[in-house]
C-alpha cells in the first residue's frame, strides 16, 4: 500500500513531464508507421498527441486569459499549433506542442525543486507534543499549545515549539535552523527552537511562542513570500508579453495576405510563412528567461541560510555599492565579555575572583553575567552562599563578607587607584568598560569588558572591500568604543552616537552618494534604517521588528554569507541577461530566415522551442 502511494505521488509530481513524453511517443509512432496507417488513424494519433501534450498549457493559457483579460504566450502557441495543423502540417504542430509541453514540464520542475526546500523544512517540525498536566503527560497537537504551557521532550526527539528550558540539560542539534553541524549545549533558562533535536538529555520546556510564530514557521513563510514576489525584470517581461502577443497576431494576419499581393507569393506560401511566423515569433524563451533562474537562486540561497523575501531583492543584491552595519549584535556578539582582569600585587586572583563571582551570580545585568562566565572559564568556583548584596543604583553593588565591605562598580563611583591608573587609561582608550573591585578602602582588582567583534565580521568586511563595496558602521555607542570596533573590524568609516532617526539620515546620505545601499542590523532601533535602505538585511537572532522589516535574513548570523548572496545575485543577473539576449537573437534570426523563405516549419519549431528549453536549463544551473 505504501509503495502504491509513493508511485501515485511520483506520477502526480511529474504528470506534466509524463504527458509531454507520452505525446512525443505518439508522434514518434505516427511518424515511424506513417506509410502503414490509414489517414484517419494517423490524424487521430496526432490529435491525441495534441490533447495530451497541450492540455496543461492550454488550460493555463485560457484560464489566465480569462482572468487577466489579456492574451499570453500560451494562447499564441495554441494558435500556432492549430494553424500548423490547419495547413496540413500535423506532425510539426504536434512537435510544437510536444516541445512546448516539455519546456513547461521543466519550468514546473524548477518550481517543485524550489518548493522542496519548504517541504523538507515542514517535515522537521513535529505535529504532536507531550504537554505537562500537573504530574501527568498528555499527547496534544502542536497547534493547540499555548504560551506558558510546559512540554516534555525526550532525548533524541525533535523540539516541537520555541521555548525556554525550565528543567534539564541537553546537547541540541540546531543544523535545521543555523546550518551548523556542531551541537550546542543548552541548560536551564536557555532558549530552544522548534525543529531542532535534543540529542542526549530529556528536558522540560516552557512555551514562549505560538505554533505559527516560531522561528521555524517564519523561515517557511519568508521562503513562500520570496517565491510569490516577482523581480522588476519579471514584471517587465509580463507587461511586455501581452502587448507583444497582440502585435504578433496582427502581423501574422497581415502576412497571410500582403506578401501574396505585393511580392507575388502564392496564397498558400503566404499562409505557410504566416504560420511559421506565428511559431517562431512567440516569446516563449524570453518569458522563461527569468523566473526559473530567480527561483533557483532563491532556493540555493535558502539552503545556504540566506532567506530572500522576494525576487526583487535577490536581483537588487548584486547592485549594492555600500553597506551600513549596526554595531551591537551585528558586527559584535551583542554581549559583553571580560577581556582583561588585573589583580593588585598585594592580592591573589584565586582570592578575589570567587568573591566577585559570588556577588554577581544572582544579578541579571550583562556585565555581571560576563564576570561570572569569565570566572567559570577560569575554572574558579565559589563556596560563598547567601551573601546579602546591596544594589548601588546605576553604580554597582556592595556586600559585607567576613566583616569586610566589598564593592564592585564604576571607577567614577568606586574611586581611583594609582596602581591601576595607567592600565585603566590604556584599556579605556581601547573602548572597553572598566569595573573595579574594592575591599574596604583599597581597590584590589580591575575587570575590562567589551562587546567583542564576531570573527566572521572581520572576514566579511575584508571580502566586501575586495569587491569594492564601501563599509560603514552606524552605532548609538560613544565615539571611543565605535572607533575601536571599527578599527578592529576593518570598517571604512563609522558614525557614533547615532539615534534611530539619525541612522535613517545617514542611509539617505549614502544612497545619494552610492545609489544602491544595504543596511544590516538586528534591533528594533534598526527597523527604520532597514526599511530606508535599498536592501535591508536582518540577523537571524535579531528582534521580530528587524526580521519583519528586512528584505533578507541571515539565519546563520554569519556576515560572510552576504558576500555569497551578492555572488549568487550577480550570477543570477548574468544568467538572466544571457537568456534574454539569446532568446531575442534566436527570435530575430528565425523571423529573418522566414521572410527570406529559407526556413521551413520543422526547423522553425525546433529552433524556437529548443531555445526555450536551453534558457530554462541555463536557469537551473543556479541550483548547483
Q: Strand order in 203-207's β-sheet?
A: 136-141, 128-133, 150-153, 203-207, 163-168, 191-192
How is residue 333 annotated by DSSP? E
Biggest CA–CA distance in the chain, Å, is 118
Separation CA 273–CA 83 (nearest Å):
11
Contacts of 582 (CB under 8 A, 6+ apart): 285, 611, 614, 615
Decide if 462 contacts 490 (C-beta within 8 A).
yes
- Dig out the grid coordinates for 542 from the structure: 535579531
| Backbone CA torsion sign across 178, 182, 188, 189 | negative
Instruction: Please pick, among 149, 162, 173, 326, the residue that the annotation labels catalytic.
Output: 326
Look up residue 400 and give its three cell numbers: 559585607
Whole-angstrom Cα distance, residue 354 to residue 201? Answer: 30
Residue 316: closest CA among 131, 489, 533, 480: 533
Cβ–Cβ under 8 Å, residues 92 and 602: yes
CA 279/CA 80 separation, integer angstroms: 5
Residue spans of alpha helices (H) in 361-478: 366-377, 411-414, 421-429, 455-466
Yes or no: say if 444 and 347 are a contact pair by the CB < 8 Å rule: yes
Cβ–Cβ under 8 Å, residues 292 and 619: yes
Cell numbers 511559431: residue? 279
Contact between 389 and 364 (Cβ < 8 Å) = no
344-352 contacts, C-beta under 8 A, 24 or more apart: 344/417, 344/419, 344/420, 344/442, 344/443, 344/444, 344/445, 345/419, 346/442, 346/444, 347/439, 347/444, 347/445, 349/378, 349/380, 349/445, 350/380, 352/437, 352/439, 352/444, 352/445
Instruction: For 435-456, give one letter per residue: b (16+ CB within 10 A) or e.
Output: bbbbbeeebbbbbbbbbbbbee
Q: What sign has the CA pseudo-torsion 603, 607, 613, 618?
A: positive
Q: Parallel, antiparallel, or unpaired for β 535-539 and 517-521?
A: parallel
CA dihedral 477, 482, 485, 486 (to 10 degrees): 140
C-beta of residue 199 within 8 angstroms of C-beta of residue 155 = yes
- What CA–CA distance (Å, rounded) separates 611 from 587? 9
Is 326 annotated in the active site? Answer: yes
The order of strands in the sheet holding 197-198 is 184-186, 170-173, 197-198
Answer whether 415's CB lies under 8 Å from 421's CB: no
The catalytic residues are 326
Amino acid at each position: 500500500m505504501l509503495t502504491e502511494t509513493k508511485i501515485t505521488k511520483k506520477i502526480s509530481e511529474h504528470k506534466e513531464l509524463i504527458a509531454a513524453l507520452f505525446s512525443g511517443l505518439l508522434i514518434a509512432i505516427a511518424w515511424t508507421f506513417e506509410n502503414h496507417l490509414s489517414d484517419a488513424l494517423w490524424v487521430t494519433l496526432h490529435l491525441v498527441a495534441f490533447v495530451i501534450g497541450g492540455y496543461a498549457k492550454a488550460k493555463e493559457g485560457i484560464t489566465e486569459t480569462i482572468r487577466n483579460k489579456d492574451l499570453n504566450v500560451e494562447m499564441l502557441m495554441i494558435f500556432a499549433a492549430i494553424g500548423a495543423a490547419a495547413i496540413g502540417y500535423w506532425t510539426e504542430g504536434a512537435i510544437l506542442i510536444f516541445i512546448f509541453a516539455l519546456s513547461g514540464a521543466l519550468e514546473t520542475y524548477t518550481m517543485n525543486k524550489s518548493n522542496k526546500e519548504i517541504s523538507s523544512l515542514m517535515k522537521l517540525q513535529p505535529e504532536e507534543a507531550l504537554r505537562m498536566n500537573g504530574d501527568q503527560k498528555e499527547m496534544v497537537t502542536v497547534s493547540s499549545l499555548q504560551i506558558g504551557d510546559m512540554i516534555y521532550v525526550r532525548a533524541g526527539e525533535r523540539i516541537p515549539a520555541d521555548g525556554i528550558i525550565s528543567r534539564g540539560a541537553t546537547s541540541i542539534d540546531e543544523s535545521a535552523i543555523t546550518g551548523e553541524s556542531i551541537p550546542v549545549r543548552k541548560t536551564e533558562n536557555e532558549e530552544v527552537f522548534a525543529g531542532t533535536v535534543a540529542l542526549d538529555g530529556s528536558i522540560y520546556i516552557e512555551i514562549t511562542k505560538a505554533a505559527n510564530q516560531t522561528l521555524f514557521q517564519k523561515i517557511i513563510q519568508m521562503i513562500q513570500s520570496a517565491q510569490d514576489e516577482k523581480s522588476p525584470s519579471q514584471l517587465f517581461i509580463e507587461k511586455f508579453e501581452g502587448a507583444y502577443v497582440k502585435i504578433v497576431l496582427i502581423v501574422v494576419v497581415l502576412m497571410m495576405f500582403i506578401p501574396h499581393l505585393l511580392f507575388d507569393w502564392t496564397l498558400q506560401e503566404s499562409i505557410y510563412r504566416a504560420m511559421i511566423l506565428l511559431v517562431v515569433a512567440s516569446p516563449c524563451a524570453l518569458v522563461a528567461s527569468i523566473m526559473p533562474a530567480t527561483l533557483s537562486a532563491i532556493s540555493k540561497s535558502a539552503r545556504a541560510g540566506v532567506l530572500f523575501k522576494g525576487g526583487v531583492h535577490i536581483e537588487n543584491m548584486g547592485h549594492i555599492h555600500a553597506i551600513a552595519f549596526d554595531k551591537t549584535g551585528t558586527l559584535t556578539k551583542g554581549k559583553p565579555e571580560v577581556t582583561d582582569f588585573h589583580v593588585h600585587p598585594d592580592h591573589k586572583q584565586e582570592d578575589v575572583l570567587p568573591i566577585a563571582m559570588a556577588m554577581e551570580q544572582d544579578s541579571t545585568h550583562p556585565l555581571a553575567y560576563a564576570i561570572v562566565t569569565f570566572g567559570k572559564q577560569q575554572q574558579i568556583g565559589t563556596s560563598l552562599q547567601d551573601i546579602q548584596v546591596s544594589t548601588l543604583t546605576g553604580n554597582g553593588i556592595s556586600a559585607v563578607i567576613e566583616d569586610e565591605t566589598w564593592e564592585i562598580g564604576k571607577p567614577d563611583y568606586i574611586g581611583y587607584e594609582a596602581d591601576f591608573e595607567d592600565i585603566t587609561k590604556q584599556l579605556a582608550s581601547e573602548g572597553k568598560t572598566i569595573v573595579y573591585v574594592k575591599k574596604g578602602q583599597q581597590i584590589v582588582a580591575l575587570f575590562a569588558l567589551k562587546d567583542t567583534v564576531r570573527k566572521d565580521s572581520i572576514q566579511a568586511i575584508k571580502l566586501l572591500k575586495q569587491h569594492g563595496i564601501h563599509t560603514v558602521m552606524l552605532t548609538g555607542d560613544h565615539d571611543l568604543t565605535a572607533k575601536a570596533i571599527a578599527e578592529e573590524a576593518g570598517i571604512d568609516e563609522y558614525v557614533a552616537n547615532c539615534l534611530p532617526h539619525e541612522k535613517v539620515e545617514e542611509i539617505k546620505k549614502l544612497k545619494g552618494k552610492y545609489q544602491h545601499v544595504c543596511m544590516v542590523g538586528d534591533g528594533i532601533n534598526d527597523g527604520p534604517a532597514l526599511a530606508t535602505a535599498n536592501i535591508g538585511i536582518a540577523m537571524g537572532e535579531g528582534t521580530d521588528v528587524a526580521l519583519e522589516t528586512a528584505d533578507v535574513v541571515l539565519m546563520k548570523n554569519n556576515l560572510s554569507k552576504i558576500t555569497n548572496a551578492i555572488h549568487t545575485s550577480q550570477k543570477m543577473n548574468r544568467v538572466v541577461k544571457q537568456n534574454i539576449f539569446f532568446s531575442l537573437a534566436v527570435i530575430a534570426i528565425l523571423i529573418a530566415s522566414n521572410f527570406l523563405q529559407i526556413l521551413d516549419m520543422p526547423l522553425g519549431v525546433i529552433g524556437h522551442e529548443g531555445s526555450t528549453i536551453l534558457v530554462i536549463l541555463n536557469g537551473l544551473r543556479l541550483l548547483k
